[in-house]
């Protein structure tokens, strides 16, 4: 039985390739690559890994092209079984890793015997890990990408216990490194904000509040957006705004005045005013609820 986007169930390997069997999917594990840019005019967001550099590193560690598809694993870890011998690498948050009975490490290539189970525990800090397998996850691409888009449903669905994913053929050797060190999970994020296009829909005090007070990451958030809690931003214009295009990093302000920062699976249009756009949202990939967020203007 085929999964949407090309995954297979029942442990059936594609001809000539191996299979990655999902024993425990965890809270949210998805197939991701570097996304599908260039389709926003058709209502399709980029999607892709929330930390593209972390997935690129995992791919380099196992000898894959940087564009290969891997897994993005959220909050609770996962457990996977490889049908063939191969190499895996996990990047992102610090967490316990085991290959069969052996302990492993985040940030290094790990040799995995055929049939061995790779177990990834919950992050000690942060939220997410990225896992690459030599050969890459070989689900069928949709609009040039194998990424799961949790908003539109494009690509393979989020993983479930018992799913199996086809693997491609390895194309390179694992990287000759002992260990790589990723950035620590943030306790406070400083995000550079470029005001507009609808900052004129807010009072002058609103921008001062946004740039001068601290916000915290809400527990209500996902790959679509990070909701913030803090000073409500008062509106200068009380009317309705027709839907217009939004981009990655757009800070939209719903009726409650609390900012929402759009992430990889954001919609391509929205009807609430966008007060500004954040240059780089990568840090939000590891921002747990309660993490402090401070905005600053482009001049600093």
The model's pLDDT over 94-104, given as tens digits with 9 standing for 90+, comes to 999 999 999 99
The model's pLDDT over 32-42, given as tens digits with 9 standing for 90+, comes to 999 999 999 99
Look at residue 183 in the predicted model and tell me its pLDDT: 83
- CATH fit for domain 188-296, picks 3.30.565.10, 2.40.100.10, 2.60.40.1220, 3.30.420.40: 2.40.100.10
What is the Cα–Cα distance from 54 to 41, expressed in whole angstroms?
Answer: 28
The model's pLDDT over 9-33, given as tens digits with 9 standing for 90+, comes to 433 445 457 999 999 999 999 999 9
Query: From the CB of residue 233, how many other CB atoms can be counted at a distance below 10 Å?
Result: 23
Residue percentage of the chain with pLDDT more than 90: 87
Rounded mean pLDDT, 74-90: 98
DSSP 8-state secondary structure symbol assigned to residue 268: S
Give the sign of the dihedral formed by CA 281, CA 283, CA 284, CA 286.
Answer: positive
Rounded mean pLDDT, 195-218: 96
- pTM to 2 decimals? 0.93
Q: Which residues of 29-39 are buried (b: 16+ CB within 10 A; e: fewer)?
A: bbbbbbbbeeb
**Residue ranges per structural domain of the chain:** 8-166, 188-296
Q: What value does the CA radius of gyration of the chain take, rounded to a whole number of Å?
A: 20
Rounded mean pLDDT, 269-296: 97
Within 8 A by CB and 6+ apart from 181, the residues are 107
Residue 270, pLDDT above cutoff 60: yes
In this predicted structure, which of 14-18, 127-131, 242-246 has the lowest mean pLDDT? 14-18
Q: Is 94 helix (H, G, I), strand (E, B) or coil?
A: coil
């Amino acid at each position: 039985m085929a999964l949407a986007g090309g995954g297979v169930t029942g442990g059936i390997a594609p001809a000539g390739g191996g299979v990655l069997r999902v024993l425990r999917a965890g809270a949210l594990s998805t197939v991701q690559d570097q996304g599908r840019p260039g389709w926003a005019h058709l209502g399709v967001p980029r999607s892709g890994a929330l930390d593209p550099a972390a997935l690129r590193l995992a791919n380099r560690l196992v000898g894959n092209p940087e564009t290969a598809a891997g897994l993005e694993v959220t909050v609770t870890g996962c457990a996977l079984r490889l049908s063939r011998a191969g190499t895996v690498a996990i990047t992102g948050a610090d967490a316990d890793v085991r290959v069969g009975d052996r302990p492993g490490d985040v940030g290094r290539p790990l040799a995995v015997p055929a049939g061995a189970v790779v177990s990834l525990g919950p992050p000690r800090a942060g939220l997410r890990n990225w896992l690459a397998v030599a050969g890459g996850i070989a689900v069928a691409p949709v609009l040039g990408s194998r990424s799961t888009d949790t908003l539109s449903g494009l690509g393979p669905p989020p993983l479930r216990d018992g799913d199996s994913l086809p693997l491609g053929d390895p194309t390179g050797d694992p990287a000759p490194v002992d260990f790589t060190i990723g950035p620590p999970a943030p306790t406070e994020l400083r995000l550079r904000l470029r005001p507009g296009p609808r900052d004129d829909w807010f009072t002058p005090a609103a921008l001062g509040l946004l740039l001068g007070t601290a916000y915290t990451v809400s527990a209500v958030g996902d790959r679509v957006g990070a909701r913030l809690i803090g000073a409500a931003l008062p509106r200068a214009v009380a009317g309705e705004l027709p839907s217009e295009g939004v981009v990655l990093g757009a800070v939209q302000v719903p009726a409650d005045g609390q900012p929402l920062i759009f992430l990889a699976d954001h919609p391509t249009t929205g009807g609430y005013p966008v007060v500004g756009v954040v240059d780089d949202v990568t840090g939000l990939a590891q921002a747990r609820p309660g993490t402090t967020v401070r905005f600053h203007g482009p001049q600093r």
